Each structure stands twice: as C-alpha cells, then as structure tokens.
Chain A
Amino acid sequence: GAVVSQHPSWVICKSGTSVKIECRSLDFQATTMFWYRQFPKQSLMLMATSNEGSKATYEQGVEKDKFLINHASLTLSTLTVTSAHPEDSSFYICSAREGIVHEKLFFGSGTQLSVL
C-alpha cells in the first residue's frame, strides 16, 4: 500500500520555540493532505486541510498563525507550530489523499510533541 512518512516521530522543545513537522507521500502524489491533533485517550481532531499550491483551510478554533501549514509540492506538506507552549503538547498526525479518490487516504505514523 501507499506510504506516508512523517518526521520527526517525537520532539521535545522549549517553550517559545518553533517546531516543524514534515509529512511526505513516498510513492504517490497527494493532492490533499490533512493534519490532525490527538490528545491522550481522545479522538483525532481535524486541524486543517491543505491542497498543493494553495492556502490551507483551517477548522474553526484552530489558530492559523500558530499552526502554519505549507503544501509546496504534491509529495510534501509541513506543519510548523510557532512559539510553542506546553498546551500545544499533543500527538499530531497527517494523512494524504491520493488523487481525488475519496477512499484512498493514508496516514503518517504521527509526531509526539512535548513542549517544556
């Protein structure tokens, strides 16, 4: 099956610093990528949807200036958590859709962010 690579797997950073998370589709072109956030023992909450070459669409309540999403190519999307604070500590997961086929959604392995 298709592979989505997400890096890093985990990151620890100091409060006030920025962290970049990468999501790559290794063997297919991802026209759309999705970013989710998952708190411990909770469900995945959609943060934003990004389409290659255009601005991301953020869900209500998600701060655009804090969570910067860039989808510069058909195989790479990045999420940058700017000026991270302890409350941003969470598990972040990306998923990529191959083409326009609805059911061809593939997930990355996630990134655990811990802000000290």
Chain B
Amino acid sequence: AQTVTQSQPEMSVQEAETVTLSCTYDTSESDYYLFWYKQPPSRQMILVIRQEAYKQQNATENRFSVNFQKAAKSFSLKISDSQLGDAAMYFCATFGNEKLTFGTGTRLTIIP
C-alpha cells in the first residue's frame, strides 16, 4: 500500500520569491517513482518533475527542484523565482506496484 501526505493545504508566495511545498510518503515497494503534478484551473494535470527512487541525485527542471530524502520518505518541491503562472494546485504522487497514488494537494497562490 502507498500513502502520500501533503500537510500544507494552502501556500502563498510573493512573485519572484522561492517557496517549498512539503510531501511525505510511505510505500512498501523497493522500486518506485515520485512526481509532482500541477493542476491549474483548467484541471489538466501537468507533470512538473519526476524522481526515480533509486537515484540519490535530486531532480531539477529549470526553476523547479526537489529535495528527496529517501530514508525520511520526504519529497519536497522548491519553486524558485515564482511566477504568476505557477499559481495552481500541486499534487505529490508516488508510482509503485502499478499504481499512482496522489496526496491531497497544496493550493499555491502567487502574490503580485
């Protein structure tokens, strides 16, 4: 079984500043993947970043980076130089045993 916990229902950040969204997970799988998805008002799920659990190096995609702490089962997302277009729901997810399990999401607001 897999569980994903996002303890921050809402976050806000000033435009151009940096924000970190928290995520912890639990899984019995030895081979799994971790994801952050963005869901804007259109509700289209957009992949932000992915991390293979067997890789120690933290994934980075332009302004988005993760802090993957495998022993602590923590997978936080850092957004640098926040932009207005970053405003959305952000879901942390883990894929293992052929299933993608989502957290409850964090609503990110960007303050102009």
Stretch in A15-23, A65-73, A75-83, A100-108 with 4+ CB within 8 Å of B: A100-108
The residue that B98 contacts in the complex, of A32, A38, A45, with Cβ under 8 A, is A32
Q: Say yes or no: A102-B33 contact (C-beta < 8 A), given A44-B91, A109-B43, A110-B43.
A: yes
What's the count of A-B pairs with C-beta under 8 Å?
Answer: 42
Q: Say yes or no: A49-B98 contact (C-beta < 8 A), given A43-B104, A110-B44.
A: yes
CB distance from B99 to the nearest CB of A (A): 6
How many Å lie between the Cα of A42 and that of B45 in the bound state? 14
* Interface SS majority for chain B: strand
* Interface SS majority for chain A: strand
For A109, the closest partner residue in chain B by CB is: B44
How many Å lie between the Cα of A46 and that of B95 in the bound state? 12
Q: Determine if A95 is an interface residue (Cβ-Cβ < 8 Å).
A: yes
Residue pair B44, A103 in contact (C-beta under 8 Å): no
Which of chain A's residues have a CB closer than 8 A to the CB of B99?
34, 46, 49
How many Å lie between the Cα of A45 and that of B105 in the bound state? 12
Residue pair A42, B100 in contact (C-beta under 8 Å): no
For A93, the closest partner residue in chain B by CB is: B45
Q: Say yes or no: A46-B100 contact (C-beta < 8 A), given A103-B33, A103-B95.
A: yes
Q: How many residues of A contact B (CB 8 A)?
A: 18
For B44, the closest partner residue in chain A by CB is: A109
How many Å lie between the Cα of A64 and that of B103 in the bound state? 25
Q: How many residues of B contact A (CB 8 A)?
A: 19
Which of chain A's residues have a CB closer than 8 A to the CB of B45?
44, 93, 95, 107
CB distance from B101 to the nearest CB of A (A): 7
The residue that B105 contacts in the complex, of A43, A103, A110, with Cβ under 8 A, is A43
Q: Say yes or no: A46-B33 contact (C-beta < 8 A), given A95-B45, A103-B95, A107-B45.
A: no
Q: Determine if A28 is an interface residue (Cβ-Cβ < 8 Å).
A: no
Residue pair A103, B91 in contact (C-beta under 8 Å): no
For B4, the closest partner residue in chain A by CB is: A43
4 pairs of A and B residues whose beta carbons are closest in the complex: A107-B45, A43-B102, A44-B102, A43-B104
